[in-house]
Amino acid sequence: MRKVMTMLWLKGKRKKVIKGESYMNTISIQKKFIYLAMIFGILFVMLIPPFQGPDEDSHFKKAYVLAAGNIFPDVHEGKTGYYLPADMIDYISEQLELNGKLDEKVSYSEVIIAEQGNASYGEQKFEHFSTVSSNPLAHAVPALGIVIGKIVGKIAGMNPSYVFLLYFARLASLLVYVILAAAAIRVTPILKRTFCMLGLMPMALFLAGAVSYDMLLNGTALLFAGMCFNLLYKQEQIMSRKYAVVFGLILFLFYVLKIVYLPIFAFLLLILLRNIRSDNKQKIIKSIVFMGAVSVGLLLITSYLPAMFAPEVGASGGGGGLSASQQQLQYVISHPLEYLKTFFNTLSISRNFYISSTVGMFGLLDTRIFSVFTYLYLFFLIAVGISEISLDRVEVKWYDRVVILIATGASFFGIFLAMYINWTPLVYGVGAGVIEGVQGRYFLPLFPAFFIIFGNKWIAERKCSRIVAEKCSGYGMLASILILQVSVAAILLRFWI
């Protein structure tokens, strides 16, 4: 009896040690991510010149007017827009002229003078920009950064310049992205190192350090996948009220920012449906309904109710005949095979651009990393993901793989279709034989959940392959550090040296 009790005590002690090691491992990965993301993220914030992020000018303008309390756009001569300081518009236009001029350098003295100078808010000019009609929550984070920047400027006795406010908006965006990605690493029971690498991917971190809503999409996509894995592999079959709120918020953000990512939610529905039993059916249904209520409630508060108070905005525009987008949509419906040919032709022609702009392409997408580093890093990222999901020894059902493949494939296809309908006809006209406007950064939210399709037990059950997988997974953080160093060097060479 004494021997049995001793064995049980030792077994319990061993479980506690293993649990403690797992907890410490989680904390270690999460802390490393936070340290590296803040170090290199701040370098990106500083080294990327003002308004040299993708569409950063439009995103900053929207955040600026929200920080000033202007939620509803104005209507002028049938167009929606906002009244902005003329000096701001002129300064941003000057900075955008740097696009594509790879031999032109940025003057540190000019940037610091613009940052430290006092802004002129006198003359106002009406302007329409691409984010005029975007949901207010999309730019709430950089708007908060601008508000804080204004407060700091007043304390310092300044009339803060637009560049001064820009850096506060960038830092706020970076902090929120790091919080979202770190939460994803903490909550997921699998693929922690892979999540860390995805969070530290140069393109993701560059977008996080710019004024954009891409950081919300990328950060919440990581968090969504982590929470799904937690429900799937921690046997938490009932989605808690807290999870339902977060899922509802993510569903809302995907809907109002990039509706093409909505198919990813099929994975969550699969997880909930496969866990339905007679004793928890009502609880799961209630959780799903509550998640939907949160999303719909946010949509009503931020979109439909404001439109009721500013009906003239919704009534603006107009004009006879079909728009270019409507004509393009009709073309796709009537010529589906021609569109498929265009889709595959575009993939073939532009695949190198898509890969490069997924891993890291900076500035106004005119600053590349040398291809050798891009492709080596992408290869290693995939190897780490396959190695880690194998070492995690999770059981991946065949229908899990099918749903993830269909969901991510639908989003991938939807990205191209959306740009073909809404952007391509403005550049090449209706029925063009190529899709214009697709960038690799649009694929980043598809990565976190996708790696589950590589789950297998074959690698972990064989000694040689297991050792290789352990080594590969262990060096993932080093690969991230190296590619981020290469990225910083590329930005320095392009803009400053």
Q: In angstroms, rounded to a whole number, what is the distance separating the alpha carbons of residues 51 and 47?
A: 12
Say what the pLDDT of residue 119 is: 79
Give the confidence band of 309 by pLDDT, cuts at 50, 70, 90. Answer: low
Torsion on CA atoms 444, 241, 269, 247, rounded to nearest 10: -20
Looking at residues 303-329, what average pLDDT do you find?
Answer: 65
Say what the pLDDT of residue 83 is: 92
Q: Would you list the domain boundaries of the chain?
A: 28-309+326-495
Say what the pLDDT of residue 15 is: 41
CA angle centred on 82, ends 80 and 85, rounded to 5°: 150
Say what the pLDDT of residue 275 is: 75
**Of the given ranges (140-149, 185-194, 265-274), which has the lowest mean pLDDT?**
265-274
Looking at residues 128-139, what average pLDDT do you find?
Answer: 91
The pLDDT tens digits for 221-280 are 999 999 999 998 875 656 788 899 999 999 999 999 999 999 999 999 888 887 776 667
In percent, how much of the chain has pLDDT > 90?
A: 68
* Tokens describing residue 83: 């009244």
pLDDT over 60 (residue 162):
yes
**Of the given ranges (103-112, 300-309, 315-324, 431-440), which has the lowest mean pLDDT?**
315-324
Give the confidence band of 138 by pLDDT, cuts at 50, 70, 90. Answer: very high
Closest CA to 219 of 266, 174, 189, 159: 174
**Of the given ranges (155-159, 183-187, 312-316, 401-405), which has the lowest mean pLDDT?**
312-316
The pLDDT tens digits for 205-218 are 999 999 999 999 99
Q: What is the length of the chain?
A: 497
pLDDT over 50 (residue 318):
no
Looking at residues 376-387, what average pLDDT do you find?
Answer: 94
Beta strands at 367-368 and 124-127: parallel, antiparallel or unpaired? unpaired
Please report the DSSP string for 424-482 in residue order: HHHHT-TT-SS--S--GGGGGGGHHHHGGGG--SHHHHSHHHHHHHHHHHHTHHHHHHH
Question: What are phi and psi for residue 50, nearest 5 degrees?
Answer: -55, 130
* Tokens describing residue 271: 């997880």
Say what the pLDDT of residue 118 is: 81
Say what the pLDDT of residue 281 is: 80
Give the confidence band of 385 by pLDDT, cuts at 50, 70, 90. Answer: very high
Say what the pLDDT of residue 178 is: 98
* Residue 419, phi-psi category: left (phi > 0), alpha (psi -120 to 50), beta (remainder): alpha
Say what the pLDDT of residue 284 is: 83
E-only strand ranges, 118-185 = 124-127
Say what the pLDDT of residue 276 is: 75
pLDDT over 50 (residue 369):
yes
Say what the pLDDT of residue 460 is: 83
Say what the pLDDT of residue 18 is: 34
Mean pLDDT of the chain: 88
Say what the pLDDT of residue 409 is: 96
Give the confidence band of 305 by pLDDT, cuts at 50, 70, 90. Answer: low
pLDDT over 70 (residue 10):
no
**Of the given ranges (4-18, 198-212, 317-331, 458-472), which has the lowest mean pLDDT?**
4-18
Say what the pLDDT of residue 11 is: 45
The pLDDT tens digits for 413-468 are 999 999 999 999 999 999 999 999 999 999 999 999 999 999 888 888 888 988 99
pLDDT over 90 (residue 480):
yes
> Does the model's pTM come out above 0.85?
yes
With beta carbons less than 8 A apart as the criterion, state whether 472 and 383 touch: yes
Say what the pLDDT of residue 204 is: 97
Give the confidence band of 287 by pLDDT, cuts at 50, 70, 90. Answer: confident
